[in-house]
Amino acid sequence: MLFELRRHKTVPDVALAVALTAVQIASAASVPGTGPLSYAAIAAGCLALAVRGRAPVPVLLVTTACMLAYAVAAAPAQQAAFPVLIAVYTAARHDRRLLAAAAGAVFLSGSLAASLAGAAQPTRAIVEQTVLLLGWFLAAVIGGTVSRHRAAYLEQAEQRAAEAERTREEAARRRAGEERLRIARELHDSLTHSISVIKVQAGVAIHLARKHGEEVPEALLAIREAGADAMRELRATLEALRDATGEPPGSGLDQLDSLVDRVRSAGLPTTVTISGETRRLPAAVNRAAYRIVQEALTNVSRHAGPATAAVTISYEPQELAVRVEDDGLGSPLLSPTPGNGLIGMRERVTALGGRLQAHPRPQGGFSVHAQLPIKDLP
């Protein structure tokens, strides 16, 4: 076979077989000479159609033989032909056209011979009925063949559509990969040099201060540490952009202490409180929590003025709660202007199915509260 037909549903076939059996038996009751063997032949020939989709050839043979036996015994050729027509159509649809045509020819020949031998009707009328049935059998074979070709066309169309979709997805992935590489090159060319210069200059300034016996300012140490951290994260980002998976190793809450130390050395007093049972987090949640704390503390340093910050990490059964609060210049009377930092935090939280609240505190200062769902780890 050129292709496999789709799996037939048996329920419609069973319903058709039962209904056709009832109609044939009711009609046979009005035909003189119908005996028990004829009723048995009708039942066997019609009920076999219940499995025509799964066994078209056996059903064709059984139905043709049984209905021919009934037609020869009682001579109702037209009535007995209907189950055979259905079997012929099914066989042709399953690419058994020659066998279907042969079965139709056998049934027509046998019923014609039986009708002529019985001489219940004029010869001309019997021949006309046989020619009419021949037309119906030809239509059944042609209809089954057309249905088979239509099913093949639909299957090929679905395959072409699936292939086109795969091609589009591959093209999109290729374009995304090219864009990641372009961004990686731009970041490398534009940022790596600048950060390296900042780091080197800070290191030189620290060296000169120590060489002259001067106390090294905490801010200068913080600049050097921040430069080193920025270089590390930039390299991780560039590796992620060049990686086809796009999954960076990134930073997580295991580096929270280092982040807080840098913030403190830059002049922002910060406390950290961790509650709940500490456990391993999904990588995306771990990265998002770190970035939220990092961005929130950066905003405090930039906008809160003289302030202190408090970071709270709560491990709850179904989620990780991250809260960063300060007692700086934030006021409920002033609506904060959402910048890229807050927008980025909200996007991270939303992508994970969490919730983010960022607003001024009633007593002054600002609060960022993120709730990140923790899905079960494999």
Looking at per-residue pLDDT, the higher value among 182 and 26 belongs to 26
What's residue 274's pLDDT? 92
What's residue 255's pLDDT? 86
Q: Across residues 219-237, what is the average pLDDT?
A: 74
What's residue 8's pLDDT? 47
pLDDT in tens, 49-89: 888 888 889 998 999 888 888 888 776 667 788 888 899 99
Percent of the chain with pLDDT over 70: 87
What's residue 4's pLDDT? 42
pLDDT tier at 248 (50, 70, 90 boundaries)? low
Asked if residue 289 lies in contact with residue 319, where contact means CB atoms within 8 angstroms, the answer is no
Q: Across residues 140-149, what is the average pLDDT?
A: 87
pLDDT in tens, 273-330: 999 888 888 888 998 899 899 888 888 887 777 889 999 999 998 899 999 999 888 7
Is pLDDT at 206 greater than 90 in this prediction?
A: no
pLDDT tier at 1 (50, 70, 90 boundaries)? very low
What's residue 249's pLDDT? 54
Looking at per-residue pLDDT, the higher value among 232 and 15 belongs to 15
Is pLDDT at 158 greater than 60 in this prediction?
A: yes
Q: Left if phi > 0, otherwise alpha if psi is -120 to 50, otherwise beta: which for 337?
A: beta
Q: Across residues 15-39, what is the average pLDDT?
A: 83
What's residue 337's pLDDT? 64
pLDDT in tens, 87-114: 999 898 888 888 888 988 888 888 778 7
End-to-end CA distance of the chain: 44
Instruction: Read off the tokens for 300.
Output: 């405090």
Percent of the chain with pLDDT over 90: 10
CA 343, 345, 348, 353 dihedral sign is: negative
Name, in order, each residue with C-beta under 8 angstroms of 67's C-beta and a sequence gap of 6 or more.
Answer: 41, 42, 45, 80, 81, 83, 84, 107
What's residue 250's pLDDT? 58
What's residue 323's pLDDT? 94
Domains of the chain and CATH, by start: 10-162 (no CATH), 253-373 (3.30.565.10)
Q: Across residues 180-187, what is the average pLDDT?
A: 74
Is pLDDT at 2 greater than 50 in this prediction?
A: no
Q: Across residues 199-227, what is the average pLDDT?
A: 78
pLDDT tier at 271 (50, 70, 90 boundaries)? very high
pLDDT tier at 13 (50, 70, 90 boundaries)? confident
Instruction: Read off the tokens for 60.
Output: 């064709």
Q: Left if phi > 0, otherwise alpha if psi is -120 to 50, otherwise beta: which for 119?
A: left
Q: For all residues of the chain together, what is the average pLDDT?
A: 81
What's residue 355's pLDDT? 92
Burial 141-171 (b: 16+ CB within 10 A, else e): beebbebbeeeeeeeeeeeeeeeeeeeeeee
What's residue 336's pLDDT? 64
